[in-house]
Structure 1
C-alpha cells in the first residue's frame, strides 16, 4: 500500500564535537543558521511533509532540546547514554509506532523540494526496506566526502564512493530488533538490508549543506540566500 506520510524520527542527541566551542554550552541542533536553529529547520520539513507522530531523541544538554520543542507536539526519546543512530531509533520505536518511518538528521540545510516528500514519492514497499536520499559530491556543500554509496541503474545501493548520504531516509525498522548491541549505527541495519537486495537510493535535485563544522554555517546561509535570490 502506498503511504504519503510517515512517522518521523529527528536525530538530535549527539555531542556535536566537530563544532568545537559552539557546542560547549548548547547542543548542535540549536546552533542557528539564518536566524533559525538547525532543529527548527529540520522540524519545519517534517511538519510541512505531514509527518505524524514526530519524535526527537535527546541526550547531550537534552533539556535544551526539550525546551526548544515545547509546544510543537514532538515526543522526546530521552537517552541516558548515547545510543548512536541505530540504538536511538530502536529506543524510540514505542513512540513512533509500527511500520516504515522517515528519519532525518538535524545538522543539514536544504533548498529545493521537501526531501521527505521526495522520498515518499519514490517509496515502494514491495521492493524496499530502506530508501536513502543522496547527493553527488559536486552538489554537496560543507563536506569533502567522496561519497558513501554506489547507485545501481535499478536504484539499489552498494558500499563505495559515488553518492553522499544526506541524512534523510525512509526505513522499515523491524530489523533493529535482531541486532544484539545496545549502541550501534544504522549502518549495521543497512548492510543487512543491502545483503537482501532491498537497500535503495534516490538522488535529491535540490541544494544540501552539511552543517557539522563551524564553517558549514556560512556555507548554508549563502546557499539559502542563492535559493531566495
Structure 2
C-alpha cells in the first residue's frame, strides 16, 4: 500500500531581522548551520516524506535563494511587491501546491530537530475527521535557545489552547480551505489557527525529541551542538 503524501510549504520569505548582520547579503534560510544552509536541513525533512511538490516562498534577497535552489525540485512562490506573512504566503502559494483545501505540511526552516522526523510523526497522527490542523509542539524543558514563555497548552483530547508550556516547533499539517474566509492580504497563520481552535479542530502533536530555535546568531552554535549530538 502506497504511503499517503501531502504537499510541503517552506517559509523562506522573511527578513530575518533578528539575525542582524548575517542577513545583510542573504535571506535567513541561507545562513549556514553545521556547514549547510538552514533551508537544506528543512528540505531533508520534507524529502523524507516524499511530498508531490515542495514550494518555498521568497521575498527578501530572493535571487540568492533562487540561485541556491536552481536545478532542484523546489518550486518558488515569489511574493512581490510586499511580503505576505505566513497565512498570506501560504494562500498565495496554493496554486503551486496543487490544492485548495489541504492538507499541506508547512515548515519553518529556522529551527533544528534532534529525534524522529516531525513530518513523519504528523503524517502518522493525522486524523482528518477530528483535525483541521496538527501542530508539532515541544515542552519548554526540551527546547534549546528558546526564551520567554510557551505558546500553547493541550487538553485531555489533545486540542490546543493559547498559553502554556508547549512551544510551536514550526512544523505542522493543516487544511487550507478556510484561508479563503480571511479578508486580509497580509496575515499570520495565527488567524487561521484561531478559527480552527474556536471549533475545537486545532490539535497538538507533542514531539518526543529536542528542538532548537535558530532565530538569532546565538542560536547557531546551540543548533550545531544539537546536530552533533544526533550524529554520535
Instruction: Give the whole-Å Cα distance in 2 for the aligned partners of 1:129 and 1:164.
Output: 19
Q: What residue number does 1:163 align with?
A: 166
Per-residue deviation at 1:4? Answer: 2.8
- Report what 1:110 is aligned to: 113
- In structure 2, the partner of 1:94 is 95
- Given that 1:133 and 1:202 are in contact with CA atoms closer than 8 Å, whether structure 2 keeps it comes out as yes
Q: Counterpart of 1:191?
A: 194
1:147-158 equivalent positions in 2, closer than 5 A: 147-158=150-161
Whole-Å separation in 2 of the counterparts to 1:126 and 1:3: 19
Give the aligned partner of residue 65 of structure 1. 65
Pairing of 1:113-152 with structure 2 (within 5 A): 113-152=116-155
Matches within 5 A, 1:22-41: 22-41=22-41
Contact 1:3 1:120 in 2 (8 A): no
Any stretches of 5+ residues in structure 1 without a counterpart? none
User: Is 1:219 matched with 2:222?
Assistant: yes
In structure 1, what is the equivalent of residue 54 of structure 2? 54
Q: Deviations over 1:16-65 (max 9, x none)?
A: 00000010111100001101100000011101111221000000001111
Report how many aligned residue pairs link the two structures.
228
Question: Helix, strand or coil for the counterpart of 1:212?
Answer: coil
Asked whether the equivalents of residues 4 and 121 of structure 1 are also in contact (C-alpha less than 8 Å), the reply is: no
Cα displacement (A) at 1:3: 6.8
Q: Distance in 2 between matches of 1:71 and 1:195?
A: 43
> Is there any run of 5+ residues in structure 2 with no aligned partner, and where?
none
Relative to the length of structure 2, the TM-score reads 0.96
The within-5 A match list for 1:162-181 is 162-181=165-184
Could you give the per-residue CA deviations for residues 50-102 of structure 1, whole angstroms, max 9, x where no partner exists?
A: 12210000000011111111111111100011100000000000001122100
1:140, 1:158 → 2: CA distance?
19
Alpha-carbon RMSD across the aligned residues, in angstroms, is: 1.1
Partners of 1:55 and 1:76 within 8 A in 2: yes
1: CA distance, partners of 2:67 / 2:45: 19
Q: Once the 2 structures are TM-superposed, how far is the Cα of residue 145 of structure 1 from its aligned partner?
A: 3.1
- How many angstroms apart in 1 are the aligned matches of 2:67 and 2:88? 23
1:56 and 1:76 in contact (8 A); partners too: yes
- Normalising to structure 1: TM-score of the pair? 0.97
Shift in CA distance, 212/155, structure 1 to aligned 2, threshold 3 Å: same
Query: Where do 4+ consecutive residues of structure 1 move more than 4 Å?
Result: none
